[in-house]
Structure 1
Amino acid sequence: MTDVIEVADLRRSYAGGYEAVAGVSFSVAAGELFALLGTNGAGKTSTVELLEGLAPPSGGQVRVLGHDPYRERAAVRPRTGAMLQEGGFSPELTVAETIRMWAGCTSRARPVGEAMEMVGLSRRSGIRVKQLSGGEKRRLDLAMALLGRPEVLFLDEPTTGLDAEGRRETWELVRELRDSGTTVLLTTHYLEEAEVLADRLAILHEGRIAAEGRVDEVVAAQPSQISFSLPEGTAVGDLPRLGTYVRTGGDIQLRTDELQRSATELLLWARDQDIELRGLDIRSASLEEAFLGIAQKQGATR
């Protein structure tokens, strides 16, 4: 697949010498959904603004659809769509009027009715923007990003303010766009969202990429967990040697890189000893644990 987003040693500094993006490199293939994650201040927004051509990089290189998105903005902008965290629409215009106004400034614009239908706003077409709920305003933001039938779509926190049903509907729409060939770069604080949607992802920390790859690859780098409690009279020292056990009160936690083997040996030991492992919980690592583990590890090395 051809890479439609190429980032090499990208840097962005602000007044006072603060470097928000400190040498980031990644690529996104055509038709791929790539999630950019990170804690507050990690450099996500600064990176995405460079990809959107809103500012020039302080160093390194970025290419979108083969062009410099800042210096060759005229060649890139008509082929991309961007859903920002805040749309800034006129509060007195209706939904239909807002979309119609933006369509007049957009190349290859979809029909207004089609744009409203895609994001579930058809029944709210005559409602003024100021009367929309927060979730409905996010739907309108998404309609604006999709108006020009973009080849590359930037989604910045697309489901903030949506209820569970609205979030799932948006996920389905994003999947359909990706499956039709649209390349999507997503930033989100909802780790479940990235886990469900992303083909690949990168986790930013302090302006650098701390982990990158498929979701399963990033998660696999973190240990899995087995939790249980022992009956009275059984000590931690009696347990089979499977790794490091941590005891908190009456609960015991075993973190392991070999979940199936460790769980099997622990259960066989319990059977042979005729011991009940109360509250037994066996779980693989999650993206959330990987995310928190990276943040904690990076923080400890500062």
Structure 2
Amino acid sequence: MNRTKPTTCIFLLFALLVGLFSAYEYGEDLSPCEEDKCFVEIHSDVPRCWIQDDNQNIDYMSPMDGGSHSIPNACRRSNIFGGDGYLVAYPSTGGLVLLRNPLAVDLQYLGLPNTHDTARSPDEDDDLATRMVQLGAPWWPNWYLYFRHSSRVDAGIFYDYHFPSKVDVAFPTTGGVWVANFTRDALRYRYEDKACQSWLPYAPDLWRVKMRYALTMDDKSETMKDLGGTFYTSVDEVPGLAKTVDEAVSLFEPFKQRLNHMEDDGYRRRFCTDDKDEDEDTRNEEPEKPRWGIGSLFNELR
């Protein structure tokens, strides 16, 4: 039996190499991303990038967990009806502003159709991005950073205040603004007895369902009122809600450090504990908890 081991190992190694090489071949209906002007630059070490079904598909090998992600075609304003549900604007300041699965009433407010995707007009990006951040849309430096961490949040890794929260905004015709702010963490954490509880609530069970049937901003406002939203007489009173893209960029700044922390396995184990014996220097590595997921920091909520 020992004589057959080298042969078996050689065969397995050969099979592995064949699998790796075949994995990075492009099919007839695929083309490398760099050949298409409609796709954005990837800021990472990506071994494979291809275009399929009007999206830019990338395979990450490192850092963190790798994985495959599909970036919307940058020649389209959205891929809500033919992709993963993103509405995206690329402001002239750089980066991107995105809404995932925007509501029909939000598309109406933004002056976009709610029945089909539209082509992107780059000269309209700044104006659209401004109106999107006023609806609670976050700004991100690039798709790479967003996907690296959003995929982990979606997979159930507990991020708490390290990831921008989900913000909903409604502007009733009577004036003022309704705002709701929810954690992006997986729903399963609602039912777990954790030492570190989430600093933001989870969306009510009926939130998404009721929001889906809002036809106007007044409908959306009434729903938010019924389900626990907060009313402000002026948008200027809302803490941590950007009114311009520049403000959204500034509000994202604290998350650069927090997201970087979350790439450290040791830190991820530490931040959600209540260990009184932990040394002072280690505790000081924790960033402060913000009032809003996309907002400024408030020491009293640490």
Structure number with greater Rg is: 1
Question: As a proportion of its length, which structure holds more strand?
Answer: 1
> Under a length normalisation based on structure 1, what TM-score does the superposition of the two structures give?
0.24
> Under a length normalisation based on structure 2, what TM-score does the superposition of the two structures give?
0.24
